[in-house]
Amino acid sequence: MKTWIAFIRSRTKSFGYAFKGIGILFRTQVNARIHALAVIVIVALGIYLELSMIEWAIIAMCMGMVLAAEATNTAIESIVDLVSPDYHELAGKAKDLAAGAVLLSVIFCGVAWSLIFLPKIWALIQISAGP
């Protein structure tokens, strides 16, 4: 019984640390706040356009991927700054690669979002334009 309680406490602490990390991400990273604003706009548009469950699943995975990439980028930048406070070519390369991962996730999610949203928006434009 004691180990079960210790396990639950350990998992609870782990979730606490994870939520603390999410808080740090949004408090300290302007780009994360921009991504969060984009999430709000995308969700509102998705509700308005009445996305299907599969479309919501794709949108949710994309939003999660972009935010996770941003968090990973922030973590890598923090570690690099800690271990290499002075400029070093490899430190710069690590930071550039992490930033590139965020950009790639945004580009590919933008493609997915476009494939989902643009036909629906185009259909609305066609309907409102009339015959």
Annotated catalytic residue within 55, 70, 77, 89 = 70
Whole-angstrom distance, CA of residue 7 vs CA of residue 14: 11
On the CB side of 47, CA atoms within 13 Å amount to 5
What tokens does 61 get? 């995975």
Whole-angstrom distance, CA of residue 80 vs CA of residue 57: 34
Mark whether 50 is an active-site residue.
Answer: no
Q: Using an 8 Å Cβ cutoff, are 112 and 55 in contact?
A: no
Burial of 66 (0-12, 13-18, 19+ CB in 10 A): buried
Catalytic residues: 70
